[in-house]
Amino acid sequence: MLFSSIVFLYYFLPILMIVYFLSPKRFKNMILLLASLFFYFYGEPKYVILMVLSSFSGYCHGLWIDKAKGSRFSKLPLISSIVITIGLLMFFKYTDFFIKNVNWIFKLDLSPLNLVLPIGISFYSFQILSYTIDVYRGDAKVQRNFFDFTTYVTLFPQLIAGPIVRYTTVEEEMSHRNHSIGDMAYGINRFIIGLSKKIILANSLGELGNIFTKINEKTILFYWIVALSFMLQIYFDFSGYSDMAIGLGRMFGFHFLENFDYPFLSKSITEFWRRWHISLGTWFRDYVYIPMGGNRVSKGKWIRNVLVVWFLTGFWHGAEWNFIYWGLYFAILLVMEKYFIKGILERLPVFISHIYTIFFLLISFVLFNGDGLKGTMENLKGMFGFLNIPFNNHVTMYYLKSYGILIIIAMIGSTSLVKGFIEKIVGNKKGERLISILEPIFHIIMLLLNTAYLVDGSFNPFLYFRF
């Protein structure tokens, strides 16, 4: 079930909220658990059992880890948890990738399993791992209530595509959380903003990419326009989903951490990854990079650590070589920035640093979006004039005129300009009063506009379902 669907907006969510807030406090987690299981079952019925079994494994391993503390075999349950959780993720997500590559290397003809990727498995697997590792480290208390733990793992706001919510973030709120009109209002407003980013901006930008794949009269300029529109599309698609998840969590009393912080304002690739998909970056930092020694090692070992983390980051995104190359591409850039160009970037004018960052991000998202390595190389050749195509033509200009204003709006929307403008207005009492009147009207209009898009049956993919 998509958040950006009529079924979710006008059936599932309203019914759930009525039942949830009319129920006694002791039943609220159970209601969220049942609702989350139904939410998942609606879109992925045969893999609900897998998710419940993964939750059961995480729950049992947490108890085992807690019981084994101080013993000679204290690491055994942790290792078991990692092997089982990663093993399930590897089997369902990467088996066919390995079969395909074994066939290619050894000239075999092994049949792929053609497994359907369980939606959200990359996210809930990492949540289970963060819990068992934190219990082992003593950073989290063991959860002894199986239903409360399964509620954490299956919690529908962040189940499908994150953000990756660590158990320590919601540990107290699983049993003691407050509900207020202020939180409800914030949650609804944040959800509508995220919904608008997804439906009005991301979906519309996605239409341009869809058109590009079908036309024959491609140009160098069109390749660059589509690269830019895809970069903006995936930002609004994913950050919009994160906004919706954070908003929904707040409605039910949970305070999820932010997942995006205007990443396209970055002046370096290093800064970009502090602002983009924050929950994933901090997960790999705390559970892979730092345990390997982080940056408190020799230069050679630090480069090894960076390569390992970014190989895994790329591979986490998908079972294709272009995702691995995408991750290693960032590893190389980060090493280059640290040892060769950090000082240069700091001395450059800010707008030059921004141009540098956006250029390399554009290339990265071409790698990310490629249909395998062949498709990626085709797109890069098109961008840099190696396909014997013109720089521009009337078809490109037609679509540039049609989508140019949308792209400009998206570029402005990806910065903090709108937020800064509103903050200036609310800096005085008259402005604050004006915003308090206009804000609910604006959100109602946006909800109606989003509904109109959905009723119209507009292009409505969600990119991170692949992961």
Query: Tokens for 465?
Result: 């379902």
CB 356 within 8 A of CB 345: yes
pLDDT band at 466 (very low <50, low <70, confident <90, very high): low
pLDDT of residue 458: 60
In whole angstroms, give the CA distance from residue 90 to residue 93.
5
Please determine, for residue 464, whether its predicted confidence score (pLDDT) is greater than 60. Answer: no
- By residue count, the chain amounts to 467
pLDDT tens figures, 390-449: 999 999 999 999 999 999 999 999 999 998 998 888 888 888 888 888 989 999 999 999
Query: Phi/psi of residue 155, each to 5°?
Result: -50, 115
| Residues designated catalytic | 317
pLDDT of residue 43: 82
In whole angstroms, give the CA distance from residue 393 to residue 108.
46
In whole angstroms, give the CA distance from residue 152 to residue 448.
32
Nearest in space to 163 (alpha carbons), one of 194, 133, 197 = 194
How far is Cα of residue 132 from the mean position of the Cα atoms in its chain?
A: 22
Mean pLDDT, rounded, for 250-271: 96
Residue carrying the six token digits 């240069």 = 344
Which residues lie below 8 Å from residue 332, measured CB to CB, with a gap of 6+? none
Distances (CA, A) of 297 to 167, 240, 284, 303, 304: 30, 38, 17, 10, 10
pLDDT tens figures, 103-139: 999 999 999 999 988 989 999 999 999 999 999 999 9
In whole angstroms, give the CA distance from residue 300 to residue 306.
10
pLDDT band at 463 (very low <50, low <70, confident <90, very high): low
pLDDT of residue 428: 84
Name the percent of the chain lying above pLDDT 70. 98
In whole angstroms, give the CA distance from residue 50 to residue 92.
10
In whole angstroms, give the CA distance from residue 451 to residue 461.
16
DSSP letters for 106-170: HT--PPP--PPPPTTHHHHHHHHHHHHHHHHHTSSPPP--HHHHHHHHH-HHHHTT-----HHHH
CB 55 within 8 A of CB 175: no
Mean pLDDT, rounded, for 41-46: 86
pLDDT of residue 372: 77
Mean pLDDT, rounded, for 318-341: 94
Query: Phi/psi of residue 126, each to 5°?
Result: -70, -30
pLDDT of residue 467: 54
Q: What angle do CA 398, 404, 409 make, to 5 degrees?
A: 160
Please determine, for residue 465, whether its predicted confidence score (pLDDT) is greater than 60. Answer: no
CB 275 within 8 A of CB 265: yes
Domains in the chain: boundaries = 6-177, 183-466
Going by the DSSP 8-state scheme, the letter that residue 12 receives in this structure is I
Any idea which of 188-197, 322-331, 341-350, 357-366 has the lowest mean pLDDT?
Answer: 341-350
Among the residues of 370-428, which ranges form H helices? 372-383, 394-413, 417-425
In whole angstroms, give the CA distance from residue 309 to residue 327.
8
Any idea which of 89-93, 333-337, 431-435 has the lowest mean pLDDT?
Answer: 431-435
Going by the DSSP 8-state scheme, the letter that residue 463 receives in this structure is G
pLDDT band at 93 (very low <50, low <70, confident <90, very high): very high
pLDDT tens figures, 66-87: 999 989 899 999 999 999 999 9
Query: Tokens for 171?
Result: 């540990």
Any idea which of 103-112, 253-262, 339-348 has the lowest mean pLDDT?
Answer: 339-348
Residue carrying the six token digits 């950006």 = 4
pLDDT band at 160 (very low <50, low <70, confident <90, very high): confident
Q: In the predicted model, what is the mean pLDDT of the chain?
A: 93
